[in-house]
A and B are shown apart, each in its own frame.
Chain A
Amino acid sequence: MTQAMTGAKMVVQALKDQGVEVVFGYPGGAVLPIYDEIFQQNDIRHILVRHEQGAVHAAEGYARSTGKPGVVLVTSGPGATNAVTGITDALLDSIPLVVLTGQVPTFMIGTDGFQEADTVGITRPCTKHNWLVKETDKLAATLHEAFHVATSGRPGPVLIDIPKDVQFASGTYTPPNGAGRSHYQPKVKGDIDTITQLVEAMEKAERPVFYTGGGVINSGPAASQLLRELVEATGFPITSTLMGLGAYPASGDKWLGMLGMHGLYEANLAMHGCDLMINIGARFDDRITGRIADFSPNSIKAHIDIDPSSINKVIHVDMPIIGDVGHVLEDMLRIWKSRGRKTNKPGLKKWWGQIDAWRQVDCLSFDPSPKTIKPQHALQRLEALTKDHDRYITTEVGQHQMWAAQFLGFEDPNRWMTSGGLGTMGYGFPASIGVQLAHPESLVINVAGEASWLMNMQEMGTTVQYRLPVKQFILNNERLGMVRQWQELLHGERYSHSWSEALPDFVKLAEAFGAKGIYCDNPDDLDDAILEMINHDGPVIFDCLVEKHENCFPMIPSGEPHNKMLLGDASTSDVIGSSGAVLV
């Protein structure tokens, strides 16, 4: 049913019609008409962040933990540019977002007007698509198309730039289905012949491995369910990227743990030594492959991905299958069953024997300490004390992030929110806010490093204002730990600007915002302190003083293949060659 209304009202109407419940935003001159409409309704909740970057990461956390698109509303100029880091983060991790930006009125565009920035120009390379809407009559259709593009195919952030005069002017509103079918319709069904070929390879493989990624999570809970069924039925080992944790349960006996630069020994060696690699919704990122020429040299590779440009981008594969992970898994299972549920049992038995031997290496072991809290120990205790809770974890970026991925177990998808592709320090705290808003009754913990956490600490105001009981679990090593680790291994232990000087007293900081602060530096007090954090009904900053010079292992040095993995400090001298040193 079409209706006449102002552009500003259309924005709110379209959000309602798209089922949006929460908008993360920050007002300013160029979006005042939209804020005026938000004021006059109660269906959509607006969360006032303290910085536009925070709004975008919060929307990412919301999206990642619900499977729904996150929505952001910011003003022109600095509002839009502040959002750019978050938008790029969402692009690299394929998170569906709809970002609305205000713009100077159409007749002022190009005059360097106050708070004018070429927002669509700036965000063209960091959005999946973006639009500048110059006519109110086109606004409704564009808003609906934006939700369609953000959520279909490989999800990603989209942006609509709306000049202020377009917000004030009246036009015709069309509801979502009235807008006509979009030409953007990515293919979701995989090619049956190639899927059958893959099933044939699975029947014969002696050393198969499933290598799964964020695509399984993005495909939805049904895809995770199908993956579990397939793994159980075939008995193949499974590993996952950082982005895919939780698609297969960490407690499952086929689980090898995360792979990649800081992945588990058994996972990386299984990738290196397999004869059939089945990539499901992962993208052969350089953190995963190490040296390309030596990547899994003797395997046949299948790659299931909804984005055709992911195929053969980095690693040439033998069986490309373009389609939605859920659809393809369904076909795989069906075909495998109809052909008699065959696997190479003797081969698999030997393969598991090999894997069990690798597991014996116990690559995550670390030297415990009675005096200082080891970060790994802190996470083990956090895991033990929270794993039975209805729990969501976000992280910042650095060593703590890798330890969290190694030491926390994820049983379900959408429970783990981390910045993988862009590696954005400052992601985790606002993301935890978005997660908590979506899951008000759940325990939401941001595993943070002190340096990352400070990058978006202003969001304490948001947590207190909206009574969001997020727990900021800061593994405080008073170091830019990951940078320090690289300097130790790569730059002759010259620790150039990699320590955190002049840190705040985090307990007082919490109190200054009206939240609770907890300090702990003694392993004996750790459990009680963690319980105190969990049991407090409100936001908490937990300042957990940890060992300052702990390194994160295993580690595959840049430019090395999977089987050249470092397991501990003893093996680290002169590890990274000069060709590796230029890599990041």
Chain B
Amino acid sequence: MSPLQIQKGTSRHSAYDLRDPHSDVEEVHTLAVLVDNEAGVLARVIGLFSGRGYNIESLTVAEVDHEGHLSRITIVTTGTPAVIEQIKAQLGRIVPVHDVHDLTVEGPAVERELALFKVKGSGDKRVEALRLADIFRANAVDSTLESFVFELTGTSAKIDAFAELMRPLGLIEMARTGVAALSRGV
């Protein structure tokens, strides 16, 4: 019996399980993990990934419910479908973890990252940098006669693209927050 023959709604299978569990294709998934905001909880999550050999592409964490002492960890990870399922199950059994959401399979989600770019230059390059920043809707949040700091919010791909363009124009330093994500709609 393959999982595909299991009648819909009759088992614990999620729609996700209807994909080939033996696939070797690595997928990128964004997970939102709601945790008690207590000492060591981030170490538990990170230790799980390093201890079991999973990948972390990006990780952000901050308290989102002060009264309930809850933090939200957003993790972008890669793995085969079977590994992704394991990661979610392993996260789910960490005691201070309340909820694990796979935003990649649960429906459309908004993913955003914030980045700061320091670009040094003068003359044409400086003008070109400013022009491109305008196209990308990046803000200059600091300027001197020989440098800018641009602030850009967007998908990771957009930030990558902007960084690529800035590199020949004098990009000397860059800071990224990692991905924050929410599902669309309610």
Contact = CB atoms under 8 A, between A and B. Distances in A.
A318 B47 CA distance: 30
Interface in A131-173: 132, 149, 153-154
B92 A125 contact: no
Contacts of B82: 312, 316
B19 interface: no
A438 to B, nearest CB: 27
Interface stretch (B24-32, B37-45, B142-150, B164-172): B37-45
B47 A120 contact: no
A420 B53 CA distance: 23
Contact of A318 (B1, B22, B40, B89): B1
Given A309-B92, A312-B21, A318-B3, A197 B98 contact: no
A308 B89 contact: yes
Contacts, number: 63
B10 A124 contact: no
A408 B22 CA distance: 40
A183 interface: yes
Contacts of B10: 193-194, 197
Contacts of B94: 129
B86 to A, nearest CB: 6
Nearest to B95: A129
B95 A313 contact: no
Interface string B83-123: 00110011011111010000000000000000000000000
A183 B70 CA distance: 12
B12 A320 contact: yes
Most chain-A CB neighbours within 10 Å: which of B43, B95, B98?
A: B95
B141 to A, nearest CB: 36
Contact of B1 (A128, A154, A300): A300
A125 B47 contact: yes
Contacts of B132: none
A184 to B, nearest CB: 5
Contacts of B96: 129
B64 interface: no
Nearest to A310: B89
Interface residues of A, number: 30
B174 interface: no
B43 A197 contact: no
B43 A121 contact: yes
B6 interface: yes
Nearest to A194: B11
B98 A309 contact: no
B39 A132 contact: yes
A124 B47 contact: yes
A60 B85 CA distance: 31
12 contacts: A149-B95, A183-B36, A184-B95, A191-B12, A194-B10, A194-B12, A313-B89, A316-B21, A316-B22, A318-B1, A320-B13, A321-B12
Given A307-B93, A320-B13, 17 more contacts: A121-B43, A125-B47, A125-B51, A184-B95, A191-B12, A197-B11, A308-B93, A312-B21, A312-B82, A313-B86, A316-B22, A318-B1, A318-B3, A318-B6, A320-B11, A320-B12, A322-B12
Q: Which 10 A-B pairs have the closest CB atoms?
A: A309-B89, A129-B95, A193-B10, A308-B89, A194-B11, A318-B1, A309-B90, A300-B1, A191-B12, A316-B21
